[in-house]
Amino acid sequence: MNTPMNRRQFTKTTVATLAGMTAVSTSLHGAEKAGRTARLGFIGVGGRGTSLLRNTLGLKPARVTAVCDVNPASAARAQKLVVAAGQPEPAAYTKSETDFERMLQRDDVDAVVISTPWEWHAPMAVAAMKQGKYVGVEVPCAITLEECWQLIRTNETTGVPCMMLENWSFRRDNLAVLNMIRQGLFGQIVHCHSAHSHNCIYWYMDARGYPRWSGKHLLARCADQYPTHTLGPVLSWMDINCGDRFETIVSMATGQFGITDQLTRRYGADHEPASYDWRQGDVVTSLIRTAKGKTIVVNMDMQLPRPYDNRWMIQGTRGLYSEERDSVYLAGLEGPAHRKEEWELFKPFQEKYDHRWWTEAISSIPHAQDHGGTDSLQMHLFVEAVRTGTPLPLDVYDSVVMSCLFPLSEQSIAAGSQPIACPDFTSGKWKTRKPYFALES
């Protein structure tokens, strides 16, 4: 602090922090004036944004005051949905790709929900935090390491809560498994396997078989481009950022065969995109080692014909859970299955260790919909945090760590599957941070 540069940096950081705190205070004070109703703005109301909007409109403490989309028709559709739900028509922002900046200046927006193309997620979230708005941003929250750091720095500087809307963190079965882990049924956790296996070729393409904005990423890079569904429950299962952290990552990819084959079979051999030089391999496998010596295998399999599958498996010194088998094995318990080392169905354990979010909070949601109610629960928890001015259910550190496998896997694959060090986004706080997600008490 004795150099002019340090003094300037300190002054700049202090002013930014105070400005952020003032913005948060102003925003939350406005929410109190509105009867502690969470006033939300939606940035991006295409397919996914509309889905989240529908889930939010079922929550009485929430009011949608503004919508933003580069497609005026999408914004108009969103306005009609809000009016049909019995709320005043929200303002619409459709002038340009940056019109969201005008929306963020509104005094009647306490929080924003961001559902736009990936490259806009981090910039929009950063802009929203700087304006003192709570942020819920779709997956992944960042696609480069620099974007990861921008989210961290902005959150730490402004103090404004920001979470990635990773709905699989809130799945009923995953939360029951978390309760079992925290009650010690599996002993010390050692290893995990997770996968996102889902044929998404036609999500990446438009109706004519040409790449949409998402498909352009398949042309530009080879990486685990969708790591957050796989890692969502894993972070809390393994106390990542709260006693352990990702240390090194190794990734490898198959060649690209599935995109070309599916496009050729559907549109014909002379279909132009079937001849494109797609860089994305069909299956990406990553191996993560943690600072405490635990391991995680992550698969991305999104370009080959197959049924949907996650294949979560969490293993400890006294047992394991297999989502694929819908079963558990616990060592040392009485009963023939345990003596024979056989699997037991998960259902009785699900019922016994059901998380309170699914036994209590879900009852306050009038019309739970989408992904078995998981999206509604996630939005309910988001709205409650905004309404009460309390921390979001997921923090920015976990959001960034779930997303960083995207750029880190790309680096490892490009380097011939060399190990890549994972940044410590908590700057050492992982050593003393206590688990916070989905605590029962």
| pLDDT one-digit tens code per residue, 156-168 | 999 999 999 999 9
Domain formed by 4-164, architecture: 3-Layer(aba) Sandwich (3.40)
Residue 58: what pLDDT? Answer: 83
pLDDT at 362: 74
CATH 3.40.50.720 intervals, the chain: 4-164
Whether the pLDDT of residue 122 is over 90: the answer is: yes
Range scoring the smallest mean pLDDT among 29-33, 329-333, 366-370, 380-384: 29-33
Question: Distance between CA atoms of 301 and 287, rounded to whole angstroms?
Answer: 15
pLDDT at position 393: 98
- If you average pLDDT over residues 286-313, what whole number do you get? 97
Cβ(206)–Cβ(110) below 8 Å = no
Handedness of CA 185, 193, 310, 423 (dihedral sign): positive
pLDDT classification of 368: cutoffs 50, 70, 90: low
- Contact 321/175 with Cβ under 8 angstroms? no
Return the pLDDT at 409: 98
> CA of 285: how far to CAs of 223, 227, 296, 406, 430, in Å?
9, 11, 10, 12, 26
Residue-wise pLDDT for 378-407, tens only, equals 999 999 999 999 999 999 999 999 999 999
* CATH number given to 169-355+394-431: 3.30.360.10
Show the tokens assigned to 310: 């996650």
Q: State the pLDDT at residue 337.
A: 58
Nearest to 400 by CA among 131, 20, 144, 128: 144
* Residue 1 predicted with pLDDT over 70: no
CA angle at 353 for the pair 139 and 334, rounded to the nearest 5°: 130
Q: Is pLDDT of 333 > 70?
A: no
Helices (H), 224-327: 228-237, 258-267
- Per-residue pLDDT of 254-277, as tens digits, reads 999 999 999 999 999 999 999 999
pLDDT at position 437 over 70: yes
Which residues does 15 contact at the CB level (< 8 Å), separation at least 6?
A: none
What average pLDDT does the structure give for the chain?
91
Is pLDDT above 50 for 10? no
pLDDT for 15: 39
Instruction: State mean pLDDT over 351-355.
Output: 96
Q: Is the peptide bond before 140 cis (omega within 30 degrees of 0)?
A: yes
63-104 pLDDT, tens digit each: 999 999 999 999 999 999 999 999 999 999 999 999 999 999
**97/93 Cα distance (integer angstroms):** 10
pLDDT at 108 over 80: yes
Q: Which of 141, 140, 414, 403 is nearest to 251 (CA)?
A: 414
Q: Does the pLDDT of residue 26 top 90, yes or no?
A: no
User: Is 323's pLDDT higher than 70?
Assistant: yes
- Give the burial string for 93-109 (b: 16+ CB within 10 Å, else e): beeeeebbeebbebebb
Q: List, in sequence order, every residue forming a beta bridge with 364; answer none if it has no partner.
A: none
Type of residue numbered 151: L
d(CA 396, CA 163): 5
pTM for this model (two decimals) = 0.91
pLDDT surpassing 70 at residue 193: yes
**CB of 178 closer than 8 Å to CB of 233:** yes
Cα distance between residue 19 and residue 90, in whole Å:
27
Given pLDDT bands bounded at 50, 70 and 90, which one contains residue 197?
Answer: very high
Location of each CATH 3.30.360.10 domain in the chain: 169-355+394-431
